[in-house]
Structure 1
């Protein structure tokens, strides 16, 4: 039997040996933190790029955070993708059998596949030539007049900011329609030529420009059947500059003012009767009941005598047909180039038989003419339909807008 002393000595020996072994054992390595390595990711933009190109392309990033929506226009559509947008012009001219498509690719990003029949335009563009005065106010309202390098014809321009550029010799004049000076346009090398079409090669500029390899966009605002539908084409122009946010704001302000006045005109109890135009050659061209002119009259609280017609264009009528319906009309508007009633009587003595002639209730939309006869109604007026509507309400219901003075209309004395 072992004594307690022997057992104690044995335990001490075992403990001491264990300590020695522990001291000699290798020390476990402390865990080392892994380096924090993450892939470099392009930051998603908050606003559309309005100058230059993107430096890093990431297909997962939306490069157009500011987008357009179309409320009134029926002639075009826009669809957004991460690095490009697709615009389709549905109705470039009356009875058109074709559409036009534009793929607007963010500069610095690749061209998408699958659009072989579309024009590809890098955006934002930096330079533009316009082939219609109706497009000039768009550039002013978008703050992009700096991009304008030329236009079709200087003579009929009314926009003051553009007239100043013409006078300073900063713009080129490239000619109109099929007579466009293609060589001059090629020398100017614009990022885009914005024009319009009527479907006739003898009048259209775009076939020659496209054949020369230029980037061309057809603006068909004139095909719209409402004033707000027409002015909404400012968004079309804006898309090429990536100026969606500004276009949305500008249009919203115009539309709100227009709709507020239209609502005011709807409160009237009596609507005066109205007819439009005059004889041109053998026919009286009367706007159809679904035209933008008819919409203006309806929104201004007037009763258009051809409102029951379903056409969106003009109706050719003979004098007798017009007189039968409009002889006793309250107002006669949009009479062409006349600046006074005497011109009507000189053109055709039969005009004096209309009650509106006899009462002096004749108004024409040519109050703002430049020295060459350029009518600002077709320029500034189209870009400011709220002002045109205010003119019409002032004519038909002056008590509703007592402080408004006519801008685009004049009374024919």
Structure 2
């Protein structure tokens, strides 16, 4: 009887532990099996006591990967629903924090001289949002449909295998991605416009889980105020404010977070970063660094990339002596023709001269351009090799997420011996 009593006591204790939230599913190993015969100390006339079987308890197991196609059905606040996380190594324009069932993203610098930041709480669907979200926009993840309002966001969706989630864009005109073009031709995408003229009704009809756009801080050009006013889930992507090529590219992790695709984004980014750094290492120690200047006047002003801009970083990594590398600005500085000519007249290379497709076009734009040594030597290269029929430039689409391809082009131009087998992808040498 003592042995049986001890067994029943242990069984009750196990049941109580489970009821209090324990995760144990089986009785302790020292609990004896049900006796096959009555104990010898019990009188034969006494009734046999049959112990009750231990109850079956469902265990809530923590996922080993992020949930990309489903919601939580049995929520446990102690479980980490985002075992696959991203960390940022090059991007400085946003942050991400992880909690058990939600993520907090903060866009730190949405546009130049912005005095506002944007916060987003990404809640795993099937779980409750945090009690206090302040001014943050709450979005359930993973999202299942998205409107992308910048062509720079399309490579994110393509690289992550998410183009099937794309339901709308701002405009068809400048898109180069062949898979997105196929969706356009098949009537699978809708244009919602851009800026203050965005078609809010069209966006509402689409009912997207997410609209990803950008801001410039001017109500005439920003779409997000109207879209937010209509209670649509709108987030601002600030990749263009980054000052390094890899910083821009790392925003693929930003997009991935809304789809719980952190693992894929990390893999893609590590590949891009590794290739970029390997090529930069080759060019870093070159003995000869050719002098370079960039761009062309717009409405009488020559906007030269600042010495701390992503263009300057690209040129430095390609082994160039950028003539405005001593400048401390991260944007573009407005200069006159005379200021540029004084410093760059004998430069070895001229890059990115606007929309120009030939030396003849440059000469016709302003005869003074022919006085630059780079023009005279035929060392003028433009990043407009990949244009669609409407003038959409793939350099500003694919190139932002794939700076290693841009860097390879620049190294090929400046130091062809370092990449003898590379064929220019975005750049072309301008013919007479």
Instruction: Give the TM-score range, shorter chain.
Output: over 0.9
Alignment of 1:1-400 (within 5 A): 35-37=53-55, 39-400=57-418
CA distance in 1, matches of 2:48, 2:145: 64
> How many pairs does the alignment contain?
392
CA distance in 2, matches of 1:38, 1:251: 45
Aligned with 2:153: secondary structure? helix
Q: Measure how far apart 1:29 and its partner are.
A: 8.4
Aligned with 2:258: secondary structure? helix
Runs in 1 of length 4+ with deviation above 6 angstroms? Answer: 22-32
Matched residue, 1:19: none
Aligned with 1:259: secondary structure? helix
**Normalising to structure 1: TM-score of the pair?**
0.92
Aligned with 1:241: secondary structure? coil
CA distance in 1, matches of 2:113, 2:56: 57
Q: Measure how far apart 1:40 and its partner are.
A: 2.9
CA distance in 1, matches of 2:43, 2:130: 65
**Normalising to structure 2: TM-score of the pair?**
0.88
CA distance in 2, matches of 1:371, 1:146: 24
Kindly provide the CA deviation profile for residues 204-248 of structure 1, in whole angstroms up to 9, marking residues without a partner as x: 000000000000010010000011100100000000000000000
Structure whose alpha-carbon radius of gyration is higher: 1
Q: Measure how far apart 1:357 and its partner are.
A: 0.4
Q: Measure how far apart 1:23 and its partner are.
A: 11
Distance 1:341 1:29, change over 3 A: same
Matched residue, 2:12: none
CA distance in 1, matches of 2:396, 2:204: 28
Kindly provide the CA deviation profile for residues 93-130 of structure 1, in whole angstroms up to 9, marking residues without a partner as x: 00000000000000000011221200000000000001
CA distance in 2, matches of 1:38, 1:62: 24
The two structures, once aligned, show a CA RMSD in angstroms of: 1.7
